Amino acid sequence: MSTPQRYRKTLLAISMACALVAAPCTRAADAVTLAIENAAVDDVSIALTDAIAEEGITAPSESHFGDMLARTAPELGHRADLYAEARIYTFCSAVIAAKLATESAHNIAHCPLSIAVYSLPADRRTVYLGYRRSIDSAGGGAADALLARIATRTAAQFQHAASPAGR
């Protein structure tokens, strides 16, 4: 290997190491999950979209995550019934996006925000709300607070209090 090639490889390795050290990290225990007893996924989904709208945020996009996994199960070799139902709702708050982007243009990867609504085959009457915590920064904290408000407001629409779900 020539000297210029060695220098390029060394510089590349140093650059990659610096990028890893400088990159913001997500906090441990990224996932937050709430369980809502005696509910239906459709009802929780409606309550979630209402809670998002109450924050002044445009209607979320809906991904039928459970359907996708069931449909691709034969090709991928996993069970088709990983979820009874599972949907992911994505949305963006301009206020949160601006805070994150102001902190670093690279925080674009933390938008949009998302909350999952799902039930499991063994207990279709327990519906879970799940979301990921954001980065450890002021903008990330604002995103976490927004997600927590939306999830709490959603769960409050049901007579049975939501509780943190076990893993």
Task: Provide the residue range defining the domain that includes 141.
Answer: 27-164
Give yes or no for residue 54 having a pLDDT over 90. yes
Give me the residues paired with residue 150 across strands: none
- 140 located within any domain: yes
Give yes or no for residue 16 having a pLDDT over 50. no
- 20 located within any domain: no
Give the residue with greater pLDDT, 9 vs 58.
58
Give yes or no for residue 71 having a pLDDT over 90. yes
- State the total domains in the chain: 1
Instruction: Work out the average pLDDT over 74-86.
Output: 97
- 115 located within any domain: yes
- 87 located within any domain: yes
pLDDT of residue 4: 55
- 117 located within any domain: yes
85-119 pLDDT, tens digit each: 999 999 999 999 999 999 999 999 999 999 999 99
Identify which of 72, 70, 83, 76 has the alpha carbon closest to the alpha carbon of residue 117: 83
Instruction: Work out the average pLDDT over 46-71.
Output: 97
- 147 located within any domain: yes
- 16 located within any domain: no
With beta carbons less than 8 A apart as the criterion, state whether 84 and 124 touch: yes
- 35 located within any domain: yes
CATH of the domain at 76: 3.30.310.70
Euclidean distance between CA atoms 38 and 35, whole angstroms: 10
